[in-house]
Every structure is written in structure tokens, then in C-alpha cells.
Structure 1
Amino acid sequence: MECWFCLHGYTNRCIRGKSFGSLGFDGGQAEYVRVPFADGTLQRAPTTVDDSLLIMMCDIFPTGYYGANRAIQYFESQSHELDTINADTPMFQLQELKDCVFVCLGCGPVGLCSILTCLTKKVGKVFAVDAVDDRLAEAERWGAIPLKLGRDDIKAKILEATDGRGADAVIELVGNAPALKSAFELVRPAGCISSIGFHQGEVPFTAFEAYAKNLNINMGRAPARRVFNDALDVLVANSDKVREFVTHKLPVSEAAKGYEIFEKQQARKVVLVF
């Protein structure tokens, strides 16, 4: 690690960083790859976890973990701040994670990783929002409360669960304007939006609306290397739950088919093998 951002833990903003499989860096689906700056990026794989699960640590699990943990850290920091204020004269009631209501918008592979992180970290209630029954069923098996797009009145359900306030935090994992707008509408005043969806358009609410709601908003890609060890601990602790996360293993010659069935939401995670 050499650049200022990497040395300070912002590995997602490395000035020399590139992504495998991008236009500027080949090798995303190669059997072997050459890894630049390997001393700051590679991590020894544990022998207790199947390789097909460790593939998730390349991207989706650290990303899902980061999205959830940014919201979790917000409330942990608030509790610490209030605890300091209350040391001599109690003034405010602390809100602990076990009393928080989180909403995860999007239950694809990254969304399920976020949901699992929230549940592992003991968030009080976790609502899972998606349009795909299989995804919602998996989230429900883990302990989340499923809400289906087009069937449930999601905003009414969240308001009912929070005495009309809105969710304490919304983790947005879809990456489009309607999802981010929904996050804004579901979160309570002085709440938190953690958005790790890959947005490419305008933000669907104004600066004044965010100001008027006193929102804490975090957006952007995950610093995967920085959160890697903590995310791996969550994965290992839940290896029995994610054992069926990889639904298809295909030869690399059938990569196009893998993309097709994933696009049609007929697969959770596809692994290509040589």
C-alpha cells in the first residue's frame, strides 16, 4: 500500500486501483491472474470455508457487509456520543441496535449479504424488500421480514412498525432512482441512508429535502480490503446459511448462459469453472 487513500483505509479510492474484468484490466474470469500491488490486496484464504463461498469475498460479501455496517456504525457512534453526554446528567434515551428498524431495498446477492450482516450484528428488525419470491423466502428463513414489491404497501408496513416515524436506516442496493427515492421516503427524520447501488443518474430528491429531514447519507463503492476480515468473520459464522448461495456451477464455455439465467433472476450466484 503506497497511496494516501490506501494508507488511510480508503482502498476503494486508490489512485492506481483497477477492477478485474474491466475495460482497463483483464482477467475477471481467468483461471489465473497477475495481481498488481499484491502485498496490499491479497488475503490468505481460510481452509474452513468452501472455495465456492470464498468467491463471494471477492466482491459481493464485503460490499453487502459495508452497506449494512455503515448504517450500523452510524447508530453505534450516536449511542457513544449520547452516552458521553449523559455521563453526569442523563438527558437522552439511547437507541440501541436491538431497538432499530432497518430496511434493505433489494435482495439480490449483495442485498442478501447485507441482510445477513444486519441479522448477525443483532439489528432489532430487518425488513427485506424485493419482487422475487425466492430471494424473499431466503431472507425470511434467516430472520428478516419480507415485503414484496407490487403486493405489500411497503411504506405503510414500515410506518406501522415504527409508530409512524419511518425506518431508522435504509440500505439501498438496487442502483436506480426509484429505489433511492423509496429509501428517502421510508427513512425517518435524522435517520440514515446507506446506498451502495451503482447509480448513474440524478439523485431523486433535492438538497433542501435532505436538509429538512436531517439525513445522514453514505454513498459509493466498498473499501473491500479494509472491511475484508470483519466481513469474512460474518461469512464464516454463517457458512451453514449461505451454503446454497451458489445455485449454478457452469463451465466457462457456458458463461453467456450464466449471465442469461442471472439476468432472468433464475439464479442467485453463478460460478464458472475451468
Structure 2
Amino acid sequence: MKALVYHGPGQRTWQDVPDPVIEDPEDAIIRVDAVTICGTDLHILKGDVPTVQPGRILGHEAVGTVLDIGAGVRGLTPGDRVLVSCITSCGRCAYCREGHYGQCLGGGGWILGHLIDGTQAEQVRVPFADGSVHKLPDNVTDEAALLLADILPTSFEVGVLNGRVSPGDTVVIVGAGPIGLAAIATSKLFSPSRIIVVDLADARRKAALERGADLALSPDEDVVGAVRELTGGLGADVAIEAVGIPATFELCTQVVRPGGTVANIGVHGAPATLHLEDLWIKNVTITTGLVDTVTTPRLLAMLAAGRLPLPGLITHRFGLDEMQDAYDIFARAGETGALKVALFTMEGAEQDTR
């Protein structure tokens, strides 16, 4: 089969690799019908995630069809159409039993495209398949389901729920890439009074306004002053960091009000300064986290019922064999206007146009 293989920082190839096989009774082999590229994949290619070894097939988000299952898989049948979650769960360890699947001690967590071969391929092996894939309703398209593999549960759990967004809050989201835009959509489920987005790119600020933000600012502006003016001098109730660089994290700590929460989503590859000399007295809560995907069934039910807004996050579509082109477009988002890209096999494209 063909797959996108990482060969070290800045190096990737779309090449022939062996087909995956069942290695454990709880495995499933999934034919990839639709897949996407994550900002985390770009961090890997920059060398920000050194635990990813050269030779690894990248990718941790996909929709596909079950081809084969191990003898220990009980809830799936070949032919089932499924969502492959970015997080794999053994279901048995202490963390999984608490719903903290991202911290799985039993061989799961974020492993696809990280510690084992991932989804940017024609097929993928998914361990612990019963707890790590979700059957899809017929009325949910492959394209819509892709957003539930990572960015919607990530924005919801690590941003909105960790940030404790509540009705009437002022929410500042720093970063208007796919995760930041998904954070707008999932924040609105809790009826904040205003959502303010900060991003360098004109196109992304425009995208944020089109998708429900009340105000979009450039970091070159007086963001702290603008937020305080809008909140009677208080600051943001919740600041969500959705980029993963020191400057954006530090901006979140500056705009948040005393008693507020900074929810960090971004993948950080460099140290950020924590100004405790300013923060210690302000009762500020700072949260971090890897998504657990514990809310994926809830989000999927909302999507199937038409209760989950999907604000046009996928802007570019490709065939699976155009993986290199898709990476080039996604990596130059400031020039291309790409938000989220989707790649389809012929089978996946046919399903989405039925």
C-alpha cells in the first residue's frame, strides 16, 4: 500500500510500505476512506515531537471501513463504517477507567502516527479497536465525521471544558487555525456573551468572524487594552491558547482576568515563560491537556441529530494519492487560506456524494 512516511525533520515521502496485519487479538485493520492532516503533523515535521522516529507513517485522524478484526474484537464486523479516533484506549488501566484515555498506561493514548504507524495511508492497524473506533450513523458523511477524530473533541475538552466556559463569559481564543475555529463553535454551545479571536493572518481573522467570533484582533494591536475595555477593565473569563508558541501562551496570561482560566491547547515545542511574579496573586487557573476523546460519542450523537454546528472548516479537498500536495497547501496556510484539508479515496468520495 501507499503511505506518508516521516524521515526526520523536514522530510516526508509518499511511498510503498507493507500492508498492516493483525498483531494482537484486539486489533482491527481499517481501510482509510477519508483522512486529514493535523497541525500536530506539521509540528512533527519541524522536529517539535522527538518521540516520533524516522520511518513512521504519520496521521491520527481518519474515517474508514473495517477490513479485518482480531479474535478479541467483539463490537465490530468487517464492512462497518467507522471513525478512527486520534486517541487509542485499552479500557482497563487506571487512567482509562477514569476516562483519561489520553494518558492510557496499557499501550494506548496518542499512539497513531506517533508511536505506531498512523492513518495517512491506504490502510491502518488500530489497537484496542472496540474502545478506539466509533461506528458511524448513515446520515453522517465522511467529511463531517473527520472533524470528530481530533479537532472538535480537542477544542471542546482541552479548551472549552477545561476552561470552564459558562453562559455570559468573555472568551478570548488566541489562534484562528482549525483548532481555534473549532473552539469558537464549541464555546458557543455554552452561550458566552462574546468571543474575541486573536491571529496574525488577515484571512484567519476573517474566517473567525465568519464562523461566529464577535471581534478579531491582530497581536500587533493592543489586545490586552481592547479586552479590558470590552469587559469594564476586568479581562477575559477564559483565554484559550490554540497555537503552541511562547508568545501566544504569554498573551493568554495577560488577557485573563483575576479568577479566570487559561486553557492551553497548543502543542509546544519550545519553553514558554510563566510570569508567576504577576500571576500568583490573581487566582488564575492554568490548564493543559492531551485530548481524551471521552466526549466523542456525545459529539457524534449531536452531529447525527443536527445539533452540532460545523462551521465550514474543511476548505481544500484532495485524492489520497495527492498527499504531498495537500501537505504543501496546509503548511502554507497563510498564503493558501487553508483551514482543514480532507483527502479521500474513491470509495470515500462516493460515500460522501451519495
Cα gap change, 1:150/1:214 in structure 2, threshold over 3 Å: closer, same or farther? closer
1:158 paired residue number = 227
TM-score (norm 1): 0.83
What are structure 2's unaligned runs of at least 5 residues?
Answer: 1-90, 346-354
TM-score (norm 2): 0.65
1:198 paired residue number = 267
For residues 78-227 of structure 1, the aligned pairs below 5 Å read 97-150=166-219, 152-224=221-293, 226-227=294-295
Give, in angstroms, the shift of residue 234 of structure 1: 5.3
What are structure 1's unaligned runs of at least 5 residues?
Answer: 74-96
Return the alpha-carbon distance in structure 2 between the equivalents of residues 159 and 209 of structure 1.
17
**Native 8 Å contact 1:142 1:241 kept in 2:** no
1:11 paired residue number = 101
Greater share of strand: 2
- Candidates 330, 341, 350, aligned match of 1:270: 341
Greater share of helix: 1
Give, in angstroms, the shift of residue 31 of structure 1: 2.8
Cα gap change, 1:178/1:58 in structure 2, threshold over 3 Å: closer, same or farther? same
2:140 paired residue number = 49
Q: Deviation per CA, 1:44-102: give whole Å up to 9, x if none.
A: 112222211211111111111111122136xxxxxxxxxxxxxxxxxxxxxxx332101
1:88 paired residue number = none
CA RMSD of aligned residues (A): 2.0
Q: Deviation per CA, 1:181-200: give whole Å up to 9, x if none.
A: 00000001111000011113
Return the alpha-carbon distance in structure 1 between the equivalents of residues 112 and 154 of structure 2.
16
Give, in angstroms, the shift of residue 229 of structure 1: 2.3
Return the alpha-carbon distance in structure 1 between the equivalents of residues 276 and 222 of structure 2.
27
**Native 8 Å contact 2:148 2:296 kept in 1:** yes
Q: Deviation per CA, 1:2-42: give whole Å up to 9, x if none.
A: 111001110010011242222x2113212332211112111
Give, in angstroms, the shift of residue 218 of structure 1: 0.6
2:326 paired residue number = 258
Identical positions, percent: 31
1:93 paired residue number = none
2:297 paired residue number = 229
Cα gap change, 1:146/1:259 in structure 2, threshold over 3 Å: closer, same or farther? farther
**Native 8 Å contact 1:49 1:239 kept in 2:** no
Q: Secondary structure at the match of 1:34?
A: strand
Q: Secondary structure at the match of 1:257?
A: helix
- Candidates 53, 58, 72, aligned match of 2:164: 72
1:83 paired residue number = none
**Native 8 Å contact 1:137 1:146 kept in 2:** no
Return the alpha-carbon distance in structure 1 between the equivalents of residues 319 and 101 of structure 2.
32
Give, in angstroms, the shift of residue 141 of structure 1: 2.6
Give, in angstroms, the shift of residue 272 of structure 1: 1.8
